[in-house]
Structure 1
């Protein structure tokens, strides 16, 4: 691992400890974040893509296909970045941080859940602004869940958000 990344891990690990301890000591906090995180694995997004065409017709189909294409690009970029940085998760960097749910893959940077949630929400809200009241809070909870559950550093989530915004808005400009 690169020295700058090791230094960043050491800076952020204290934040991760606070969140991990808060979630771990309070099941009433842990459980909702675990559910939100699980929905962010794809269940919610694929359900939304399936629901848009029956509700919105042809524009719903277009939005769903746009989200699917953006999601594919997000997945490719996310896999490339994870493979290039190989940043260990907070729960692997510091043994007093517990992953409260099993991670989907080995590395931490960037947060794929945050990246996909922001990219999908950006595209969906561009087509249907009335969905913002649901998608913005849900996306925010997904991003927070990744830190609370001990799976990501704050910078992983922040970069996931920024990359998701860039992908979402870029895809809107080019589609």
Structure 2
């Protein structure tokens, strides 16, 4: 089986991480893979914010947990949180951001790291903290949070869930 297909079939959502930081060169390769995701009409509406600063990561986690109505860390202890936002003035912004997240998740697995998609980025970046964070980076426009790719060294080896019946139909 081709290596890329094997990576797609063996990637799992990891929900338990070691505290060790992802090496910068690996993180850079994963981020670059995100920039090569397909986008509607080639508009590249998505942007990527890589967060390794623990205080910023923890503040986002607190906001995310509040939105979810939970007390636990929604980022499962992952040391890296990659936020994908997209320009909502482009009709395919949600799809564009989702494809970027897919590339990030698969690139992380190909590099030997655990990852998981975490929701509620939209609500985080509607808060004053989220807006201030974007402003501090010089990001202006109609950017909407699409999701997070959390990543790090996995501290678990999740088993694949069984595939549901009637997943595929052929005509």
Q: Larger strand proportion, structure 1 or 2?
A: 2
> Which protein has the bigger helix share?
1
TM-score by length of 2: 0.32
TM-score w.r.t. the length of structure 1 is 0.31
